Structure 1
Amino acid sequence: MDRGTHTTATALINAVRERTAAARVAEADAFVAVGDWAAAHTADEVVGDPITTLGEWDAEALAGDQFLELGGPGAPVVAEFCIGEVAAARGCSFDAARRLVGDAVELRWRLPRVHARVAAGEVDVWRGRRIAQATRTLTFDAAGFVDRHIAYVAGKATGPEVDRLVAEAATRFDPETTEAERHAADGDRYLAIDLGEVGYADPLTGTLRGTVNVHGSLDLADALDLERSIAHVARQLGELGCDPNLDIRRSMALGEIARRCDGVTTLEYDAGEATTETEPRPVHRARREVVLFVHLDQAAITGTLNGIGPGIDACTGMTGIDLARLDTPGAPRGAVTVEQVQSWCGLPDTRVTVKPIIDLTKHEAVNGYNPPDRIADHVRARWPRCVFPYCTRSSRTADLDHCHPYDPQGPPGQTSTRNLFPLCRRHHRMKTHREMATGKRWTYRPTDPSAGELPNAVIWTSPLGLRYLVDRDGTRPWPPPGPGREPDNT
């Protein structure tokens, strides 16, 4: 690509960036205007007051304008007819306008910190609305908890992360309801094998496919055990030269696991071929393994918080709320009750592994290429996501990339907490391989840390020379190189 073509390409990308930024500002302004309109059509009552319950109103009141509960507890009620004006102004349905007004009310009155960032154009409107929709059923205090903890990362928080924080807030501020729901969910567990519904490849000819559907709802710990076993046996089948399709091998693995538990196995793995056994092999029950990554703050270590005695939740001021932070590879991350962990670990055949606390300020290095577990865990704990601009993939499943390429003949300590960063496989490939049109590649470098500290941000440079800064708070464009300067690819 010559310089003229490069300049044109850069101008086109800059035009995309500028118009996208302008659209975000315009959308934020329109969203704030919707909130202003709703604020002008509220009553003195708030959601949760008995007077706002429609069932208590008479037929004459219901025939005219009425006030609707569009936000969560503590938000004001809003006149129904004002929503029609919003629908006409935006050219959308009444239901769509009602959802929009409800989200604006929720953010304005119950999530003021997130609302301020949306209004300033720092957080996309759709992200703010996603948070508002998740907090609608929380108490007023619980919504405030979510607002305080998510406002500064609202621009990058994923849907599952929002849901986990909302679940934690519900547990902290309404533990009785949460525990009742957990016990109720136990009754929803099931496993169904549709033996009466045998699949047919062609209903017209009646060709029997010989498959059935299996579906269910499991306890998380049981699901993790099952997934680990299926993945292990499917991998063994692949090593034996079984069907290359992973989904087929996983379905076969479930049957193999069942036969092992029944004392009859049709595969002899050490022989490398499928055989039929005449004598059942001894069956040993697999032990459940629970791996706990312990996250402790100063209050947990000392047992007190600002003079408050032990057992007091720092956020709610209530006693008897014990939460465990679930951070296990292969499992959804989030907070669960200590009672739930106790139920997982209470079986006599359970092996519990407690990982040590990781000091994220400590620098560690080794001389080999592959990092040991302690360094890998450190890097992934320090950088929870892939460090490519705007990527939200978890670092738990990401590759660990040497920012400065590893040199076998180079100095010792190249594999370190200062030189390793998580990159998902797609972005690792983009960083490693050149871009076809420009002959360049994405590059990045860590920012210069303070003396004795680890880098807290990286700066990426695209093949066109555009730069982005990525830190734990998210991604933002970085000033591009000045006229006549080469892109900063160091």
Structure 2
Amino acid sequence: MDRGTQHAATALIDAVRERTTAARVAEAAAFVAVGDWASAHTSDEVVGDPITVLGEWHDESHAETLAGDHFLELGGPGAPVVAEFCIGEVAAARGCSFDAARRLVGDALELRYRLPRVHARVAAGEVDVWRGRRIAQSTRTLTFDAAGFVDRHIAYVAAKATGPEVDRLVAEAAARFDPETTEAERAEADGERHLTIELGDVAFADPLTGTLRGTVDVHGTLDLADALDLERTVAHVARQLVDLGCDQALDVRRSIALGEIARRCNGVATLEYDEDQPPTQARTRREVVLFVHLDEAAITGTLNGFGPGIDACTGRTGIDLARLDTPGAPRGAVTVEQVQAWCAAPDTTVVVKPVIDLNTEDAVNGYTPPDRIADHVRARWPRCVFPFCTRSSRTADLDHCDAFDQHGPAGQTSTANLFPLCRRHHRLKTHREMRTGRRWTYRPTHPDDGEPPNALIWTSPMGLTYLVDRDGTRPWPPPRPAPEPSDET
């Protein structure tokens, strides 16, 4: 690609970036305007007060009252109620349905009054409106204090937080501020576990083609620990089938694996055995791997001077949440009671990983990092470090930022030189583009030169640069602020 062509291509990408930024700013301004309009039509009452709202009256004696305007509860507890008729103006202005406008106004009120930190970032154009609305929709049922907890913890990463991450934080807030309801819901969920094999609807023939199939559907709801055990075993047997010559697709091999597991138990699953009739095959032990994340509060039993065993977030006694960070399992907080139930079984092996001090560095001479270094890097960088990528580092490759040289100095495989990249972005970094002959590159920042610490600067094949840190991705260097308008005429 010659210089003129490259300049034209760069100009096109710059245009995409500029217009995307302008669209984001305009959308944020429109969203804030909706919130301003709704705020001007609120009452002194708030959600949770004993007020009359649309939908609570059903008898004919209130028919005349229902014919007029009403205050609606569209936000969570603590948010003001808003007049119903003002929503019609929003719907007309945006050219959308009343229901869509109602949802928009509800999200705007939730952010403005219960998630002010996230709202400020949305208003500044730093967080997409759709991301802010996604967070608002997740916190609607939380108490006012629980919503504030979510706001404090997610505001600085709201621009990159994925839906499951938001849901996990909301679940943690609910557990902290309403533990009784959380435990009751967990107990109720335990009662909903099931495994159904649809033998009554054996699909011997496709109803459309008449083709004989001979398959059945299997579905169920399992305890997380049981699901992890099953997934580990199915994946292992599916890999064994490849070694035995099975060339079916992965999904097919997984279905075959489940049948193989059943046949290995001789068709009978037994939990206890008579001493006179020992089992033909030892039962596989459950392994629970706990990655321990401790801070001073957990070690000393105090939180911000609140005293032994007092949670600073809730003011309640006890630190009753554990953080699950296990490969192959969804990340997030679970109750201590849940962990106790998993570990209480007599056939469970508990592996506790040591505490990782992320302020220290470690290195080895070989190319492949040992587990202690791999765990350190993934704890320091929870996601793939490519710009805007949200994939977990638990399943990512570990890339040498400075390429490993077998004849080079010792200690090249270190926590300072390794970074997680998902397989797709690892390939982008490793291989060159066909048209430009260039590839993506990155380097750690240099704080002595005025760059932020603990961050990476990526350069695209077109020469565009991005800064990536634990808070997300942004163009680098940052755009200069627009000059203040002059008062001169």
- TM-score, normalization by structure 1: 0.92
Q: How far, CA to CA, are the matches of 2:266 and 2:90 in structure 1?
A: 64
Note closer, same or farther for the CA distance 1:139–1:60 as it changes in structure 2 (3 Å cut).
same
Secondary structure of residue in 2 paired with 1:196: helix
| Residue 98 of structure 2: aligned partner | 94
Aligned pair partner of 1:357 in 355, 358, 363: 355
Note closer, same or farther for the CA distance 1:23–1:204 as it changes in structure 2 (3 Å cut).
closer
Residue ranges of structure 1 left out of the alignment (5+ in a row): 265-279, 482-490
Secondary structure of residue in 1 paired with 2:349: strand
Cα RMSD (Å): 2.0
| Residue 207 of structure 2: aligned partner | 203
Instruction: Check the 8 A contact 1:194/1:212 in 2, yes or no.
Output: yes
Query: How far 1:262 sits from its partner (Å)?
Result: 2.3
* 1:249 matched to 2:253: yes
| Residue 21 of structure 1: aligned partner | 21
* 1:111 matched to 2:109: no
| Residue 212 of structure 1: aligned partner | 216
| Residue 476 of structure 1: aligned partner | 474
Name the % identity.
Answer: 83
Query: How far 1:455 sits from its partner (Å)?
Result: 6.2
* 1:180 matched to 2:184: yes
Aligned pair partner of 2:167 in 120, 145, 163: 163
| Residue 34 of structure 2: aligned partner | 34
Q: Which amino acid aligns with 1:221?
A: A
Query: How far 1:312 sits from its partner (Å)?
Result: 1.1
Q: How does 1:223-262 map to 2 (within 5 A)?
A: 223-262=227-266
Residue ranges of structure 2 left out of the alignment (5+ in a row): 269-277, 480-489
Query: How far 1:8 sits from its partner (Å)?
Result: 0.1
Instruction: Check the 8 A contact 1:324/1:337 in 2, yes or no.
Output: yes
Query: How far 1:263 sits from its partner (Å)?
Result: 6.8
Aligned pair partner of 1:458 in 439, 456, 467: 456
Note closer, same or farther for the CA distance 1:42–1:173 as it changes in structure 2 (3 Å cut).
same
Q: How does 1:370-381 map to 2 (within 5 A)?
A: 370-381=368-379
Q: Which amino acid aligns with 2:76?
A: G
Secondary structure of residue in 2 paired with 1:137: coil
| Residue 487 of structure 1: aligned partner | none
Instruction: Check the 8 A contact 1:442/1:461 in 2, yes or no.
Output: yes
Query: Could you tell which deviates more after superposition, 52-61 or 97-106?
Result: 52-61
Note closer, same or farther for the CA distance 1:450–1:252 as it changes in structure 2 (3 Å cut).
farther
* 1:47 matched to 2:56: no
Secondary structure of residue in 2 paired with 1:210: strand
Q: How far, CA to CA, are the matches of 2:279 and 2:288 in structure 1?
A: 27
Query: How far 1:283 sits from its partner (Å)?
Result: 1.6
Instruction: Check the 8 A contact 2:53/2:70 in 1, yes or no.
Output: no
Q: Which amino acid aligns with 2:26?
A: A
Note closer, same or farther for the CA distance 1:362–1:81 as it changes in structure 2 (3 Å cut).
same
| Residue 120 of structure 1: aligned partner | 124
Instruction: Check the 8 A contact 1:111/1:147 in 2, yes or no.
Output: yes
Q: How far, CA to CA, are the matches of 1:479 and 1:195 in structure 2?
A: 62
Query: How far 1:436 sits from its partner (Å)?
Result: 1.1
Aligned pair partner of 1:64 in 68, 84, 100: 68
Instruction: Check the 8 A contact 1:263/1:281 in 2, yes or no.
Output: no
Query: How far 1:309 sits from its partner (Å)?
Result: 2.6
Instruction: Check the 8 A contact 1:114/1:154 in 2, yes or no.
Output: yes
Instruction: Check the 8 A contact 1:457/1:469 in 2, yes or no.
Output: yes
Query: How far 1:449 sits from its partner (Å)?
Result: 5.7
Q: How far, CA to CA, are the matches of 1:477 and 1:400 in structure 2?
A: 24
Q: How far, CA to CA, are the matches of 1:449 and 1:10 in structure 2?
A: 28
| Residue 397 of structure 2: aligned partner | 399
Q: How far, CA to CA, are the matches of 1:25 and 1:175 in structure 2?
A: 39
| Residue 269 of structure 1: aligned partner | none
Q: Deviations over 1:257-312 (max 9, x none)?
A: 11112279xxxxxxxxxxxxxxx992211111100001111111112234433221
| Residue 440 of structure 1: aligned partner | 438
Aligned pair partner of 2:287 in 286, 289, 292: 289
Query: How far 1:232 sits from its partner (Å)?
Result: 0.4
Q: How far, CA to CA, are the matches of 1:110 and 1:306 in structure 2?
A: 24
Q: How far, CA to CA, are the matches of 2:322 and 2:283 in structure 1?
A: 28
Q: How far, CA to CA, are the matches of 1:62 and 1:364 in structure 2?
A: 69
* 1:74 matched to 2:78: yes
Q: How far, CA to CA, are the matches of 1:6 and 1:222 in structure 2?
A: 55
Q: How far, CA to CA, are the matches of 2:310 and 2:448 in structure 1?
A: 36
Query: How far 1:441 sits from its partner (Å)?
Result: 0.4
Q: How does 1:265-284 map to 2 (within 5 A)?
A: 282-284=280-282
